[in-house]
Amino acid sequence: MEYDNRPVGVFDSGVGGISVLRELISLMPNENYIYYGDSLNAPYGVRPLEEVRKLTFATAGYLIERHCKCLVIACNTATTAAVRALRARYEGVPVIGIEPALKPAVLHKPDGRVLVLATAVTLKEDKFRRLMCRYENDARISTLACPGIVEFVERGIIEGDELDSYLGRLLSDYIPNPPDAVVLGCTHYPFVRSAISKALSHKSEIFDGGNGTARETRHQLTLNGLCGSPDKTGSVTILNSRPEMVDISKWLLTVDIK
Ligand code: DGL
C-alpha cells in the first residue's frame, strides 16, 4: 500500500481551530499537520462575508503552496464563507469544513430545547439557515451570536471572574431555565466549555463539531488514498500571522478543556 506523508493543512481565524487540531491528532497521530491561525485578522465573525472569503482564500493558498494534501477549515465562519468556492478552486484536494454539531444536539433529547452559540456571520448566512431548517421539527432551536468569546480565547483567558461575568450577561436569558443542549458553533468556544457549562448550572449537554470534523477528515483521506504511514508519529507545525500567538496555541493544544 502507498502512503502519502504530505501534511494535512488546518486553519482558523486564530487559535480556536486548535480545538479541532486536538481531535485530528488524537484520531490520526501518525499524520503531519500544519496549523495556521490568522490572529492578526481575528475575529472573522464580525466582518463582511466577502472579506472573510478573501482572508480564507489567502490562508488556503498559503497551505497549498506548502504542499498540503488536504485542507481542514477549522473555523465555522470561514466554512460558511468559502467552503464551496475552495472546493471548486482546488479540485483534487479534499476540503473539509467544520459546521455546528446540530444533529447530535437535536438527537440528545426528543423535542428538547437546543441553543446554538456561534458568530454573527455563521448564524445569519444561508448555510446555517438550511441546516437549521432540516431539524426545526425535531427540537426547539434558538441561536445566540456571541461577540467577545473569541477575544477572551485569543488572550489565553479560558477561566476566571472576568469570563464568568461576561458569560453571565451573555447567557442571562437562558440561566433561569437552561436549554437541554448547547451547540458550540465556533471553534474558539470549546476552550470555554467549562465556563459555559458552569454559567448554565451544568444543566445543559454541550456539543461541538471537532470530533465529527476529524472523523470526516479521516474518511476523506482514506477515500482518496491520502493516508500517511501508520507506523510513525507525525509532526505538528504551528504558524500564526501574529507569531507571538504560537505559544498560546501550543498551550491550548495541551490544556484540559473537558
Ligand atoms: N473560530 C471561528 C469559528 O469557528 C471564528 C471566530 C472569529 O474569528 O470570529 O467560527
Count the Cβ atoms, other than its own, within 10 Å of residue 178: 18
Q: How many helices (H) and strands (E) does the chain have?
A: 11, 9
pLDDT-derived band at 250 (thresholds 50, 70, 90) equals very high
Q: Is residue 3 part of a domain?
A: no
One domain, residues 172 and 222: no
Instruction: Give the whole-angstrom CA distance, residue 216 versus residue 207.
Output: 17
Q: Is residue 222 part of a domain?
A: yes
188 C-alpha to center of ligand 1: Å? 6
Tracing cell 452559540 back to the chain, one arrives at 117
pLDDT at 1: 77
One domain, residues 82 and 71: yes
- Per-residue pLDDT of 3-46, as tens digits, reads 999 999 999 999 999 999 999 999 999 999 999 999 999 999 99
pTM score of the predicted model: 0.97
Number of domains comprising the chain = 2
The boundaries of the domain holding residue 145 are: 102-208
List, by residue number, the catalytic residues: 75, 186
pLDDT-derived band at 158 (thresholds 50, 70, 90) equals very high
Mean pLDDT, to the nearest integer, of 46-58? 96
Q: What CA–CA distances, in Å, run from 235 to 31, 47, 52, 207?
A: 7, 33, 29, 28
Residue 19 host element (H or E): helix 18-27
Index of the ligand 1 atom closest to the CA of residue 98: 4
Residues with CB under 6 A from ligand 1: 12-14, 16, 42-45, 75-77, 119, 122, 150, 186-188
Question: Which of 188, 192, 252 to mutate to test ligand 1, by most ligand atoms within 8 A of the CB atom?
Answer: 188
Of 214, 194, 196, 249, the closest CA to residue 70 belongs to 214
Instruction: Give the whole-angstrom CA distance, residue 153 versus residue 63.
Output: 24
